[in-house]
Amino acid sequence: MENILSVRGLTVDIPLAAGTLHAVRGIDFDVKRGETLCVVGESGSGKSLTSLAIMGLLPKQAQRSAQVLDFEGVDLQTASNRDMRKLRGNRISMIFQEPMTSLNPAYTIGDQLMEALLLHRKVPKPVARDRAIELLEKVGITAAANRMKQYPHQLSGGLRQRVMIAMALMGEPDLIIADEPTTALDVTIQAQILRLLKDLQRELNMAMILITHDLGVVARVADKVAIMYAGEMVEAGSAAEVFTAPKHPYTRGLLNCIPVPGKTAVGEHLGSIPGIVPSLIDDVDGCAFRSRCDEATAQCASDIPARISPAGHLYRCVHDYDMNQPKSGKA
Amino acid sequence: MLVYTLKRLGLALLVTLAVSMLSFALLYLSGDPAAAIAGETANAEDIEAVRIYYGFDRPWVVQYGEWMFNAIRGDFGTSYYFKLPVSQLVAERLSVTMLLGVCGISFALLTAVPLGVAAAVRPNSIIDRIALFLSVMGQAMPSFWFGLVLIVLFSIKLRILPPSGSDNWQNFVMPTIVLGYYAMPAIMRLTRAGMLDVLGADYVRTARAKGAGEFRVMFKHALRNAIIPVVSLAAVQMGFMLGGSIVVESIFALHGAGYLAWESIGRNDLPTVQALILVFSMFYIVFTFLSDLLNAWLDPRMRVG
């Protein structure tokens, strides 16, 4: 199947007083229709900037460049503001991290939902209203017609995120980007929202990019996984490949940090990754992870080319890792 | 919304009552009113006669009740100086002041809000710098000085605007600019600060992510939230303009209510002063009430009584 979104060599630079911050350093990925790509990484790894770079919503001072940034044949780098506006909310939608503040407090839910459609289609208002009510019902909101008249402050966080999802779906997008959509919600609500997103994505056959730092989330919904570290994609592949045969020491570190029911004994220490993320101001040479890596050698200070395993699994590490070997260093 | 409106209305009425008591008390706070009316040459008998004639010998409560009852019917008594009904006097002068006030606040809002938005959209740009310069100038220049500068420039050097009077629209041009420019800096800075704050808000990013154009993002999504404190400020300034434009009215010899208040204080014309204080306070009360309603319309979170 054809890719909906192709990204090659995407970089985002932010000029600061202390030098240029290389927040995203040349990442590549593709998403196909009906596919979910999970982008995983810790805070500051460049995941949110990556999504904003696709949307063309980066902060003014940030500079974006890429070899390829193609959405269904449209080059997002050369597209005019007007063309980008036509794509946003219509063919590419985004759901944000913070449902409590992402809705405008001054307008009703109905107004804001209908606006998402009326901005892009010449349809009569009653049609937009019917579609809004239909989508509110679809995202599991009862008494949808009454909710339309309510204001954001009258809804809970979980409901607001459902409204945001409904709003993202108003224009029947081909691609939906969800930037940590469940981070601000209760754990019980998190699972509901995720299941909802996944179901909708399948039902409407959309492509979805789900940004998260929660590997538990990834295991449940991802077709493909991309692991980001310090603005770089250190590993990418199918969810099954990345989870069962992680190639990059950082990915293995992350996987060590989560308890596995049945395998992790009560009272056993969970893994952790020592050290901190290096500064991304000015040039970063070699592997950005080497200062925290148990397996680092002199080779790691030189440039690390991307390697691809026979299974189509991309990783950026000079070492070959054998799953059968005992883990070095850590207990 | 109805509960909120009624509560605000009740509050406004209470404030009105308190203000009416204060303006009535003014009669006695400034000394013996009978002695003041009788004049410096009067003897004790004359003063006593005046006291009985004006009814100052009766209990306070009776006097206040009578005054308030008459005031509600629009009767503020007779001016000691003009020997004319105060209500007639005030109504005449008020039309000039209200025209000036409305022009002044409109001028202030129409310059301050667009300038504030433009400054916030491009912080530290040339527009922002110009706006900052204009607002610092407006804060720093006293109204009387700025008024005189305009008179020198437009009336004496260029001879295109009349320096004084209140007969036709040309008379209002310079007073409007002086009064409006006095109110402009605060409104402009508040608009700019509000917009800067709101433009970083998540819901503004949501609006952009929906595909809304810049104009729509600015005016529909951002300004409506940023303007709320500006509404309250403008209401207070409007009250000030309708009541306190004494300096501006004096410089341009506009025969408005502020000018009348200033004259009446000098003449010890207490019924006129009382009526003006009550009317000026009513302006504040009415504008505060209206701004509360407007803010509740702008921000639904305020509608909870």
Which value, to the nearest 10 degrees, does the dihedral of the CA atoms of residues A152, A155, A158, A160 take? -20
pLDDT over threshold 50, residue B280 = yes
Percent of chain A at pLDDT exceeding 70 = 96
Q: What percent of chain B has pLDDT over 70?
A: 99
Distance of residue B135 Cα from the nearest chain A Cα, in angstroms: 27
Q: What is the mean pLDDT of chain B?
A: 88
pLDDT-based confidence at A323, cuts 50/70/90?
low
For residue B203, what are the CA distances in angstroms to A101, B225, B244, B280? Answer: 6, 11, 40, 40
Q: Which of A88, A103, A153 sits opposite B211 (nearest CB)?
A: A88
Nearest chain B residue to A115, by CA: B210
The reply to whether residue B209 touches residue A88, judged by beta carbons under 8 angstroms, is yes
pLDDT of B202 higher than 60: yes
Which residue in the block uniquely carries the two structure tokens 């009788």?
A: B38
Minimal-distance CA residue of chain A relative to B223 = A106
Please name the residue of chain A whose CA is at the shortest distance from the CA of residue B301: A153
The ipTM assigned to this model is 0.85
Report how far residue A171's alpha carbon sits from residue B93's, in angstroms, rounded to the nearest whole number: 59
Domain chopping of chain A, boundaries? 3-91+171-315
Given a cut of 70, is residue B108 above it in pLDDT? yes
Say whether B212 and A87 touch across the interface (CB within 8 A).
Answer: no
CATH superfamily to which A3-91+171-315 belongs: P-loop containing nucleotide triphosphate hydrolases (3.40.50.300)
Q: Is the pLDDT of residue B278 over 70?
A: yes
Mutation site for B-interface testing, chosen from A83, A102, A108 by largest number of B Cβ within 10 Å = A102
Residue A321 pLDDT: 66
**Residues whose CB is less than 8 angstroms from the CB of residue A115 and which lie 6 or more positions away in sequence, other chains included:** A107, B210, B212
Query: What integer pLDDT is reported at residue B244 of this predicted model?
Result: 59
Phi, psi angle pair for A170, to nearest 5°: -50, -40
- pLDDT tens column, A216-233: 888 888 999 999 988 888
| Model confidence pLDDT, tens digit, residues B190-200 | 999 999 999 98
pLDDT in tens, A59-89: 888 999 999 999 998 999 999 999 999 999 9
Asked if residue B231 has pLDDT above 70, the reply is: yes
User: In chain A, which ranges are continuous DSSP H helix?
Assistant: 47-55, 81-87, 109-118, 125-138, 144-147, 157-169, 187-203, 215-221, 239-244, 249-256
Nearest by CB to A119, which of B201, B212, B300?
Answer: B212
Contacts of A106 (CB under 8 A, 6+ apart): B224, B225, B298, B299, B300
Q: Are A228 and A180 in contact (CB under 8 A)?
A: no
Residue ranges covered by each domain of chain B: 2-72, 93-303
- Is the CB of A102 less than 8 angstroms away from the CB of B212? no
Interstrand relation of A36-40 and A224-229 (parallel, antiparallel or unpaired): parallel
Interface of A with B (CB under 8 A): 55, 57, 85-90, 93-94, 96, 98, 101-106, 115-116, 119-120, 151, 153, 164, 167, 171
CB contacts, 8 Å: B123 with chain A: none
Cβ-Cβ contacts under 8 Å, A91 against chain B: none
Residue A326 pLDDT exceeds 60: no
The CATH topology of domain B93-303 is MetI-like fold (1.10.3720)
CB B174 within 8 A of CB B147: yes
Contacts of A94 in chain B (CB under 8 A): 209
How many pairs of residues across A and B have Cβ atoms under 8 Å apart?
65
Question: Which of B211, B225, B299 is closest, CB to CB, to A119?
Answer: B211
**How confident is the model at residue A329, as a pLDDT?**
42
CB-CB: which of A103, A151, A153 is closest to B206?
A: A103
Report the residue from B213, B225, B301 with minimal CB separation from A85. Answer: B213
Q: Chain A residues with CB inside 8 Å of B208's CB?
A: 57, 88
> Which chain A residue lies closest to B213 (C-alpha atoms)?
A85
- Asked if A55 and B224 come within 8 Å (Cβ–Cβ), the reply is no
Range ranked top by mean pLDDT from A278-282, B71-75, B151-155: B151-155
Task: Return the residue in A91, A104, A115, A164 with the most chain B beta carbons within 10 A, the one to mutate for interface testing.
Answer: A104
**Cβ-nearest to B301 among A116, A120, A153:** A153
Q: Which residues of A touch B211 (CB under 8 A)?
A: 85-90, 116, 119-120, 171
CB contact under 8 A, A164 and B206: yes
* pLDDT number for residue A1: 66
Least CA distance to A104: which residue of chain B?
B203
B210: chain A residues, CB-CB within 8 Å? 88-89, 115-116, 119, 167
Best mutation site among B203, B224, B304 for testing chain A: the one with the most A CBs within 10 Å? B203
Binary contact (B206, A96; C-beta < 8 A): yes
In this structure, of A187-191, A203-207, B196-200, the range with the lowest mean pLDDT score is A187-191
Confidence of residue A331 (pLDDT cuts 50, 70, 90): very low
